[in-house]
Amino acid sequence: MNPDLPNKGKNYSKQRALDDTALKDKSAQYKSGFKRRLGNDTLLWIETYHPKIRLPGKGLVSYEPFWCQQQVLRDKSRFRHVNKSRQIGFTTTFAIEAVHAFIYKPQAEIIVLSKSEKEAKKFLDKFYIAYDSVSEDMGLKPLAKQNTLNAESATGSTIQVLTSSKGAGRSFTCTDFYMDEVAHTTFGDDIYQASMPTIATTGGRVTLFSSPKGRAGIFAEIGKNLEDQGFSGHIYEWWFSPVYNPNYEEFLQSHLNFDHRTKNRLIDEAKQGSWYTMMRSKYSDMAWGQEFEASYDSDVDTVFSAVQLKRGFKKPDWMDIDIDPNNLALEYLATDSVEGHDYVTGIDLGRKRDATVIVTFDTSVDPMEMVEYKRIPPASSDWGLIELSIRQTYDKFKSDMIHDATGVGDSISERVIDISEPFIITASSKYNVIENLRRAMDAEAIKLPRIPRMWREFEQFKWDDKHLVQDIVIAVCLATKVFYEPDTVWVGADDFSYVGE
């Protein structure tokens, strides 16, 4: 018998005990580290606890995020902008994310702004379903407060859903702020601008998600200038949904491989699928682009398309920023007149809160180009000085002139009647002059200087223009009415037929 065996046995037992202790310590460290990872990683938490969602016709099922939803959940940016197709599941995604923040973020204050009370309640319903489905496995205490518009945890975290009102953004501070369908929310721009200072005090996180509604508004403005605005950006059209796209797996692979040719082919093939053929016929081109293809250019109320803007606007290198001889114009660009050339001037006369805009085109060149632009701010001069500015333009170019005489009264119109033709704008005549300008832009028959104010006014112009600045657009429309005659003439705002070749 080897006398060393008992000692070796004791040493072995002692070492094993030490190893077991070390393993327990490592296990505790692992569990502690895993718990921290769960708090920092929403996707890991989803994979671990499988929060539930309710699907029509299926009942409660575990939430399994699509690829596009995973990308947004992985995005740790403080400011996120998600431009997405309708019904692609992001309201559900953010309700799940809100549950994660509610559980793990100390004293979380989550605010969700929805466009209507119905949508607000839907968001919180999704939140409650997900929270209740994980509470037992996670050992969570019952909610201290729970109703249709807000909830509070036993540890002091809160979530509140709000509906749109002009002062909503001034009434809260939060750690997480979600704006659902912000492009379609009444007072959405006001709420966003009012909320930013309050978010700054908490270091809060902001997520804007919506299908677009034209090129105007804060959602489009941020989406087109993400870097300048400090936002990360995500764009997901209908083909990023496996529910809509029958070629989803192949499409996603080609997307990840940057194989654009295969990707575009698969999208074209998906358009032969049952979902697309059923849904597409229910929407106009513009409405479809807006609702399902994340297109800022597809607001059904938008007047000037991106193609028209590109054709009409050019870098203003043929014009010089000049000084208005009357020291009136806030903006004044001009070129010299050319002997023997013909000119046309359009004038939108300002009212108390509107600017007066005077634009002149050289019609002897192709395309016909703007050669003078004056914008006189509202309330900065009397009618006599505005008349003087109009007459100086006439003396310089000897142009044919036309002015908007609607609602101004006879005073200024009579003062310039010897050089300018008055034009009364009605719903029908306004539609016709705008449509005429659109056709001129389509035909690249007009050349406009791309300066910030002019570009912005055209880009954001809509048929429903009651609350829009439109002085420049109207002045350009009037001038175009005089010098441009398309092959066909539209006959009315409500009549989409046209006559005459």
The confidence score (pLDDT) of residue 487 equals: 56
Q: DSSP labels for 127-185?
A: HHHHHHHHHHHHTPPPPSEE-SSEEE-TTS-EEEEEE--TTGGGS---SEEEEETGGGS
The confidence score (pLDDT) of residue 272 equals: 94
Q: How confident is the model at residue 212 (pLDDT cuts 50, 70, 90)?
A: confident
Q: How confident is the model at residue 299 (pLDDT cuts 50, 70, 90)?
A: low
The confidence score (pLDDT) of residue 26 equals: 52
Report whether pLDDT(22) > 60.
no
The confidence score (pLDDT) of residue 6 equals: 43
Q: What is the DSSP letter of 408?
A: T
Q: How confident is the model at residue 2 (pLDDT cuts 50, 70, 90)?
A: very low
Report whether pLDDT(324) > 80.
no
Contacts (Cβ under 8 Å, ≥6 apart) of 428: 492, 493, 494
The confidence score (pLDDT) of residue 4 equals: 44
Report whether pLDDT(489) > 70.
no
Cα separation, 379 vs 356, in Å, equals 10
The confidence score (pLDDT) of residue 186 equals: 77
Q: Which of 11-15, 55-59, 241-245, 392-396 has the lowest mean pLDDT?
A: 11-15
The confidence score (pLDDT) of residue 385 equals: 83
Please answer whether residues 333 and 448 qualify as being in contact, where contact means their C-beta atoms are separated by less than 8 angstroms: no
Report whether pLDDT(17) > 60.
no
Better pLDDT: 305 or 312: 312
Share of the chain above pLDDT 70, in %: 84
Range list of β-strands (E), 31-144: 52-55, 59-62, 79-84, 109-114
The confidence score (pLDDT) of residue 468 equals: 75
CA atoms within 13 A on the CB side of 209: 25
Q: How confident is the model at residue 381 (pLDDT cuts 50, 70, 90)?
A: low
The H or E element containing residue 449 is strand 446-449
Cα separation, 99 vs 94, in Å, equals 9
Better pLDDT: 328 or 428: 428
Residue 103: other Cβ atoms inside 10 A: 20
Report whether pLDDT(388) > 70.
yes
The confidence score (pLDDT) of residue 343 equals: 97
Q: Which residue has the tokens 């921290």?
A: 36
All domains in the chain, ordered by first residue: 42-236 (3.40.50.300), 248-298 (no CATH), 306-499 (3.30.420.240)
* Cis amide linkage into residue 367, ω under 30° from 0: yes
